[in-house]
A and B are shown apart, each in its own frame.
Chain A
Amino acid sequence: MSAAPDLRARAEALGQTLPPLLAEAEMLAATVMLGEHGRRRAGLGDEFWQYRPAHQGDSARMIDWRRSARSDSHFVREREWQAAQSVTLWVDPSKSMTFTGDKSRAPKGDRAKLLALALAVLLLRGGERVGIAGMASPRAGRTQMLRLAARLAGEDAGEDYGAPETDGMVSHGRAVFLSDFLGDLTAVEAGLARASDRGVKGVLIQILDPAEEEFPFDGRTIFESMGGTMRHETQRAGDLRARYLSRLAERKDRLTGLARAVGWHFTTHHTGHPAQSALLWAYAALQGGR
Chain B
Amino acid sequence: MFMIGPIGFAVPWLLLALIALPILWFLLRAVPPAPIRRRFPGVALLLGLKDEETETDKTPWWLLLLRMLAVAAAIIAFAGPILNPDVRAAGSGPLMVVVDGSWADARDWPRRAEKASALVAEAGAEGRPVALIRLTDAPERVEFQTAEAWAGRAAGLQPQAWAPGMDGWAEVLPDGSFETVWLSDGLAYPGRDGLLEALEAKGPVRVIESPRPVLALHPAGFEDGKVVVAASRMPVGDAVSVEVIARGPDPAGIERELARVTLGFAAGMERGEALLDVPPELRNRITRFELEAARTAGAVSLTDDSLKRRKIALIGAGPDQEGLQLLSPLHYLRQALEPVAEIIDGTLTEVLLANPDVVILADVARLTQSETDATLDWLEEGGLLLRFAGPRLAASDVSRFDEDPLLPVRLREGGRSVGGTMSWGEPKALAPFTEGSPFFGLVAPDDVVVRAQVLAQPDPNLTERTIAALDDGTPLVTRKIVGDGQVVLVHVTANAEWSSLPLSGLFVQMLERLAVSTRPALPEATDLAGQTWSPEVVLDAYGQLSDAGELPGAEGEALAGAITTGPTLAMPPGLYAGADRRVALNIMSPEAELLPAVWPASVPVEGLEGREAQALKGAFLTGGLALLLIDVLAALWVAGRLSGLRRGVAVLLVALLPMQEAKAQDTSLPDDALALEATTAVVLAHVLTGDPQVDEVAAAGLLGLGDRLWQRTSIEPALPIGVDLERDELAFFPFLYWPITAGQAQPSAEAYGKLNQYLRTGGMILFDTRDADVAGFGGSTPEGQRLQLIASGLDIPPLEQMPGDHVLTRTFYLLQEFPGRHARGAVWVEAAPLAEAEAAEGMPFRNLNDGVTPVVIGGNDWAAAWAVDDIGVPLLPVGRGFAGERQREIAYRFGINLIMHVLTGNYKSDQVHVPALLERLGQ
Identify the A interface with B (CB < 8 A).
Answer: 27, 30-31, 33, 96-97, 99, 160-161, 180, 182-184, 211-212, 215-226, 230-240, 243-244, 247-248, 251, 272-274, 276
B47 to A230, Cβ gap below 8 A? Answer: yes
The smallest C-beta distance from B909 to any residue of chain A, in angstroms, reads 36
Identify the B interface with A (CB < 8 A).
Answer: 32-47, 49, 51-54, 56-57, 637-641, 643, 742-743, 771-772, 774-775, 779-782
- Chain A residues whose CB sits within 8 angstroms of the CB of B743 once the complex forms: 272-274
Interface core residue of A31, A161, A272 (most chain B CB under 10 Å): A31
Task: Please report the C-alpha to C-alpha distance between residue A230 and residue B45 in the assembled complex, in whole angstroms.
Answer: 11
With A31-B775, A232-B47, A240-B46 as contacts: A220 and B33 at CB distance below 8 Å: yes
Which 7 A-B pairs give the minimum distances between C-beta atoms?
A219-B640, A96-B41, A218-B640, A274-B742, A220-B35, A223-B43, A247-B45
The smallest C-beta distance from A208 to any residue of chain B, in angstroms, reads 9
The smallest C-beta distance from B47 to any residue of chain A, in angstroms, reads 6
Measured CB to CB, the nearest residue on chain B to A101 is B40
27 A-B residue contacts at CB 8 Å? A27-B780, A30-B779, A99-B39, A161-B41, A211-B40, A216-B643, A218-B640, A218-B643, A219-B35, A220-B35, A220-B639, A220-B640, A221-B35, A221-B640, A224-B40, A224-B43, A226-B41, A230-B43, A234-B46, A234-B49, A235-B51, A235-B54, A235-B56, A244-B42, A244-B49, A273-B743, A274-B782
- Chain B residues whose CB sits within 8 angstroms of the CB of A216 once the complex forms: 643
With A236-B51, A239-B52, A274-B742 as contacts: A220 and B36 at CB distance below 8 Å: yes
- Chain A residues whose CB sits within 8 angstroms of the CB of B780 once the complex forms: 27
With A232-B47, A244-B49, A273-B743 as contacts: A31 and B41 at CB distance below 8 Å: no
Task: Please report the C-alpha to C-alpha distance between residue A46 and residue B871 in the assembled complex, in whole angstroms.
Answer: 49
The smallest C-beta distance from B378 to any residue of chain A, in angstroms, reads 89
- Chain A residues whose CB sits within 8 angstroms of the CB of B39 once the complex forms: 99, 224-226
- Chain A residues whose CB sits within 8 angstroms of the CB of B772 once the complex forms: 33
The smallest C-beta distance from B24 to any residue of chain A, in angstroms, reads 22
- Complex partner residue of B37 from A224, A226, A244, CB under 8 angstroms: A224
A221 to B774, Cβ gap below 8 A? Answer: no
A221 to B38, Cβ gap below 8 A? Answer: yes
- Chain A residues whose CB sits within 8 angstroms of the CB of B47 once the complex forms: 230, 232
- Complex partner residue of A225 from B40, B49, B52, CB under 8 angstroms: B40
- Chain B residues whose CB sits within 8 angstroms of the CB of A160 once the complex forms: 41
- Chain A residues whose CB sits within 8 angstroms of the CB of B51 once the complex forms: 234-236, 239-240
With A182-B41, A248-B42 as contacts: A30 and B35 at CB distance below 8 Å: no
The smallest C-beta distance from A109 to any residue of chain B, in angstroms, reads 11
Task: Please report the C-alpha to C-alpha distance between residue A274 and residue B637 in the assembled complex, in whole angstroms.
Answer: 33
- Chain B residues whose CB sits within 8 angstroms of the CB of A217 once the complex forms: 38, 40, 640
Q: A235-B54, A240-B46 are in contact. List 15 more A-B contacts (CB 8 A).
A: A27-B780, A30-B774, A31-B775, A180-B41, A219-B36, A219-B640, A220-B36, A222-B38, A223-B43, A224-B43, A230-B47, A235-B57, A244-B45, A247-B45, A248-B42
- Complex partner residue of A99 from B40, B45, B52, B781, CB under 8 angstroms: B40
Task: Please report the C-alpha to C-alpha distance between residue A238 and residue B49 in the assembled complex, in whole angstroms.
Answer: 12
The smallest C-beta distance from A114 to any residue of chain B, in angstroms, reads 12
Task: Please report the C-alpha to C-alpha distance between residue A217 and residue B643 in the assembled complex, in whole angstroms.
Answer: 8
- Chain B residues whose CB sits within 8 angstroms of the CB of A276 once the complex forms: 742, 781-782
Task: Please report the C-alpha to C-alpha distance between residue A243 and residue B52 in the assembled complex, in whole angstroms.
Answer: 11
The smallest C-beta distance from B768 to any residue of chain A, in angstroms, reads 16
- Chain B residues whose CB sits within 8 angstroms of the CB of A33 once the complex forms: 772, 774
Measured CB to CB, the nearest residue on chain B to A274 is B742
The smallest C-beta distance from B558 to any residue of chain A, in angstroms, reads 87
- Chain B residues whose CB sits within 8 angstroms of the CB of A96 once the complex forms: 41
The smallest C-beta distance from B253 to any residue of chain A, in angstroms, reads 72
- Complex partner residue of A223 from B33, B38, B637, B742, CB under 8 angstroms: B38
Question: How many A-B Cβ pairs are below 8 Å?
Answer: 130
A31 to B781, Cβ gap below 8 A? Answer: yes
- Chain A residues whose CB sits within 8 angstroms of the CB of B639 once the complex forms: 219-220
The smallest C-beta distance from A107 to any residue of chain B, in angstroms, reads 10
Task: Please report the C-alpha to C-alpha distance between residue A244 and residue B36 in the assembled complex, in whole angstroms.
Answer: 18
B43 to A30, Cβ gap below 8 A? Answer: no
With A31-B781, A216-B643, A221-B36 as contacts: A182 and B57 at CB distance below 8 Å: no
- Chain B residues whose CB sits within 8 angstroms of the CB of A231 once the complex forms: 43
Measured CB to CB, the nearest residue on chain A to B54 is A235
Task: Please report the C-alpha to C-alpha distance between residue A180 and residue B638 in the assembled complex, in whole angstroms.
Answer: 31
Interface core residue of B32, B49, B775 (most chain A CB under 10 Å): B49
Task: Please report the C-alpha to C-alpha distance between residue A247 and residue B43 in the assembled complex, in whole angstroms.
Answer: 11
- Chain B residues whose CB sits within 8 angstroms of the CB of A247 once the complex forms: 45
Measured CB to CB, the nearest residue on chain B to A275 is B782
Interface core residue of A30, A226, A235, A240 (most chain B CB under 10 Å): A235
B779 to A27, Cβ gap below 8 A? Answer: yes
Task: Please report the C-alpha to C-alpha distance between residue A219 and residue B33 in the assembled complex, in whole angstroms.
Answer: 10
Measured CB to CB, the nearest residue on chain B to A272 is B743
A212 to B41, Cβ gap below 8 A? Answer: yes
Task: Please report the C-alpha to C-alpha distance between residue A97 and residue B771 in the assembled complex, in whole angstroms.
Answer: 31
With A31-B782, A234-B49 as contacts: A222 and B44 at CB distance below 8 Å: no
Task: Please report the C-alpha to C-alpha distance between residue A219 and residue B40 in the assembled complex, in whole angstroms.
Answer: 15
Task: Please report the C-alpha to C-alpha distance between residue A222 and residue B54 in the assembled complex, in whole angstroms.
Answer: 15
- Chain A residues whose CB sits within 8 angstroms of the CB of B643 once the complex forms: 216, 218
Task: Please report the C-alpha to C-alpha distance between residue A276 and residue B774 in the assembled complex, in whole angstroms.
Answer: 14
Task: Please report the C-alpha to C-alpha distance between residue A223 and residue B42 in the assembled complex, in whole angstroms.
Answer: 9
Task: Please report the C-alpha to C-alpha distance between residue A217 and residue B39 in the assembled complex, in whole angstroms.
Answer: 12
B53 to A239, Cβ gap below 8 A? Answer: yes
Task: Please report the C-alpha to C-alpha distance between residue A180 and residue B43 in the assembled complex, in whole angstroms.
Answer: 13
The smallest C-beta distance from A100 to any residue of chain B, in angstroms, reads 10
B36 to A232, Cβ gap below 8 A? Answer: no
Measured CB to CB, the nearest residue on chain B to A243 is B49
A238 to B640, Cβ gap below 8 A? Answer: yes
- Chain A residues whose CB sits within 8 angstroms of the CB of B771 once the complex forms: 31
B638 to A225, Cβ gap below 8 A? Answer: no
B40 to A223, Cβ gap below 8 A? Answer: yes
Measured CB to CB, the nearest residue on chain A to B43 is A223
A220 to B40, Cβ gap below 8 A? Answer: no
B46 to A232, Cβ gap below 8 A? Answer: yes
Measured CB to CB, the nearest residue on chain A to B742 is A274
Interface core residue of B36, B39, B42 (most chain A CB under 10 Å): B42
The smallest C-beta distance from A162 to any residue of chain B, in angstroms, reads 11
- Chain A residues whose CB sits within 8 angstroms of the CB of B53 once the complex forms: 235-236, 239
- Chain A residues whose CB sits within 8 angstroms of the CB of B638 once the complex forms: 219-220
- Chain B residues whose CB sits within 8 angstroms of the CB of A248 once the complex forms: 42, 45
Task: Please report the C-alpha to C-alpha distance between residue A184 and residue B47 in the assembled complex, in whole angstroms.
Answer: 12
B56 to A220, Cβ gap below 8 A? Answer: yes
The smallest C-beta distance from B159 to any residue of chain A, in angstroms, reads 66
- Chain B residues whose CB sits within 8 angstroms of the CB of A183 once the complex forms: 44
A99 to B41, Cβ gap below 8 A? Answer: yes
Task: Please report the C-alpha to C-alpha distance between residue A30 and residue B780 in the assembled complex, in whole angstroms.
Answer: 9
Task: Please report the C-alpha to C-alpha distance between residue A217 and residue B37 in the assembled complex, in whole angstroms.
Answer: 11
- Chain A residues whose CB sits within 8 angstroms of the CB of B781 once the complex forms: 30-31, 276
Task: Please report the C-alpha to C-alpha distance between residue A31 and residue B780 in the assembled complex, in whole angstroms.
Answer: 9
- Chain B residues whose CB sits within 8 angstroms of the CB of A238 once the complex forms: 640
- Chain B residues whose CB sits within 8 angstroms of the CB of A220 once the complex forms: 32-36, 56-57, 638-640
Task: Please report the C-alpha to C-alpha distance between residue A33 and residue B822 in the assembled complex, in whole angstroms.
Answer: 12
B42 to A182, Cβ gap below 8 A? Answer: yes
Measured CB to CB, the nearest residue on chain A to B741 is A274
- Chain B residues whose CB sits within 8 angstroms of the CB of A222 once the complex forms: 35-38
The smallest C-beta distance from B680 to any residue of chain A, in angstroms, reads 39
The smallest C-beta distance from A150 to any residue of chain B, in angstroms, reads 25
B44 to A225, Cβ gap below 8 A? Answer: yes
- Chain A residues whose CB sits within 8 angstroms of the CB of B36 once the complex forms: 219-222
- Chain A residues whose CB sits within 8 angstroms of the CB of B52 once the complex forms: 236, 239
- Chain A residues whose CB sits within 8 angstroms of the CB of B41 once the complex forms: 96-97, 99, 160-161, 180, 182, 212, 225-226
The smallest C-beta distance from B685 to any residue of chain A, in angstroms, reads 26
Task: Please report the C-alpha to C-alpha distance between residue A182 and residue B54 in the assembled complex, in whole angstroms.
Answer: 28
The smallest C-beta distance from B256 to any residue of chain A, in angstroms, reads 63
Task: Please report the C-alpha to C-alpha distance between residue A219 and residue B772 in the assembled complex, in whole angstroms.
Answer: 48
- Complex partner residue of A219 from B43, B44, B641, B775, CB under 8 angstroms: B641
Measured CB to CB, the nearest residue on chain B to A240 is B49
Task: Please report the C-alpha to C-alpha distance between residue A239 and residue B782 in the assembled complex, in whole angstroms.
Answer: 38
